[in-house]
Amino acid sequence: MLFNLLVCSVLLSGLRTALAATRTSPPAGAVVVKAGTTTAGQFSTITAALNSLDDTSTKSLFIYPGTYVEHIDITRTGPLTIYGYTTDTTTYTSNQAIISFNSPASTAGSDDASGTLRIHKNNFSMYNVNVKNTFGPGVQAIALSQYGSQVGLYACGFFGYQDTLYANEGTQVYLKGYIEGGIDFIFGREGSAYFGGNTIGVLAAGGSITASGRQTNDGGSYVFHQNTIVLGSGANSGTAGSYFFGRPWSVIFESTNLEVAPNPAVWSLWDGEADSIDNVLNADFNTTGPGATKLNRAAWATQLTASEAAAFSISSAVGSNWQSWVDTSYFV
Ligand SMILES: *[C@@H]1O[C@H](CO)[C@@H](O)[C@H](O)[C@H]1NC(C)=O
Ligand SMILES: *[C@@H]1O[C@H](CO)[C@@H](O)[C@H](O)[C@H]1NC(C)=O
């Protein structure tokens, strides 16, 4: 028994050491992006590095610290991983590689086209990179526009105001990252997404975190597990009691820690329309934290029991083969 405990704790501390790693130089084989570089073989922009890749082989990029003002659409076929420079791979809080662009959908032509980073490919992973759309309040302005399947975003930060994160198609996981916005800022129509262990920062405006626009009962779904909701930072920082978990359609929030209170109703109608809740499941389970004490959920809201909640998991969200493509060291 003692031996087992020892082995266990040695294994655990070994695991922690392995996890809390720095990544301050390029992983073997990675194509290097470094702002201002004049070194042969390196690229000063992410766009140039991506353009240098063939279409089909497995590739990776490593991005040195800097704010890269670029509007990026990734379409290559082969598996791709992007790594950002960081002194702590386990968290978004030490990220130093930033992709930033200012593009409202009204000018870009569509939500997708406004995305600072657009993923139009399968088999994509990204670690420790922050992605921002700096347009601010007014109209939709997407930071990440995601259309791929088997896509993993690990310890990344996504910053915007209206419609920050467009999980529109495909299977995808967002683990241990940061997602900030004011209105409908996690949204999409057919995407199947699992959000685990993220910090979600709410900005002013009294909008909804999610607006999952699936059109049928069997469309994609979003499952949230053990995320923490806080006030967003910087300009337009939010206020307690103003935001909603979502407006239709279906979203499940499990084991959410509310550092800041939502509107007591928790869920909102779509533009006040009573029929917007037909066929929806707006559900939560085990919502805790200082902001969870005075909730008075909307009439159509569902509070799941533990056994009902168990039906909503990473498998139900993105498929039972998830362990074949998700980096489980970030799994929450
Ligand atoms: C991802 O890549 C693997 C290995 O190349 C392949 O088997 C799988 O079908 C790809 N997944 C998707 C969704 O394209
Ligand atoms: C409830 O949520 C907390 C915080 O996320 C978690 O630690 C706990 O295990 C959850 N309880 C159940 C029964 O899932």
CATH code of residue 230: 2.160.20.10
What total number of domains does the chain contain? 1
In a domain, 41, yes or no: no
Instruction: Give the single-character DSSP code of 329.
Output: G
275 part of the active site: no
Domain that residue 297 falls in: 70-330
pTM of the prediction? 0.92
In a domain, 110, yes or no: yes
In a domain, 59, yes or no: no
Contact 250, 256 (CB under 8 A): no
The pLDDT score that the predictor gives to residue 272 is 75
User: Which residues does the chain have with pLDDT short of 50?
Assistant: 1-18
In a domain, 46, yes or no: no
The pLDDT score that the predictor gives to residue 219 is 63
In a domain, 24, yes or no: no
Burial of 56 (0-12, 13-18, 19+ CB in 10 A): exposed
The pLDDT score that the predictor gives to residue 218 is 57
Q: Tell me which ligand sits closest to the C-alpha of residue 310.
A: 2
The number of the ligand 1 atom at minimal distance from the alpha carbon of 148 is 13
Ligand 1 lined by 130 (C-beta under 6 Å): no
The pLDDT score that the predictor gives to residue 82 is 98
* Secondary structure (3-state) at 208: strand
The pLDDT score that the predictor gives to residue 137 is 95
The number of the ligand 1 atom at minimal distance from the alpha carbon of 149 is 13
Residue type, 105: A
Q: For residue 76, what are its two tokens? A: 């290559």
Contact 199, 228 (CB under 8 A): yes
In a domain, 53, yes or no: no
Q: Tell me which ligand sits closest to the C-alpha of residue 172.
A: 1
In a domain, 25, yes or no: no
Q: For residue 224, what are its two tokens? A: 């949230």
Burial of 5 (0-12, 13-18, 19+ CB in 10 A): exposed
The CA-CA-CA angle for residues 87, 89, 91, to 5°, reads 100
The number of the ligand 1 atom at minimal distance from the alpha carbon of 325 is 1
Q: What share of the chain is helix, strand, coil (3-state, %, to 5)?
A: 15, 35, 50
Ligand 2 lined by 288 (C-beta under 6 Å): yes
Ligand 1 lined by 303 (C-beta under 6 Å): no
The pLDDT score that the predictor gives to residue 248 is 67
Task: Extract long-range pairs of 117-120: CB within 8 Å, 24+ residues apart.
Answer: 117/72, 117/74, 117/143, 117/144, 117/145, 118/72, 118/73, 118/74, 118/144, 118/145, 118/147, 119/74, 119/144, 119/145, 119/146, 119/147, 119/148, 119/151, 120/73, 120/74, 120/75, 120/147, 120/148
Cβ atoms within 10 A of the Cβ of 138, count? 10
Active-site residue identified among 111, 112, 184, 284: 184
In a domain, 276, yes or no: yes
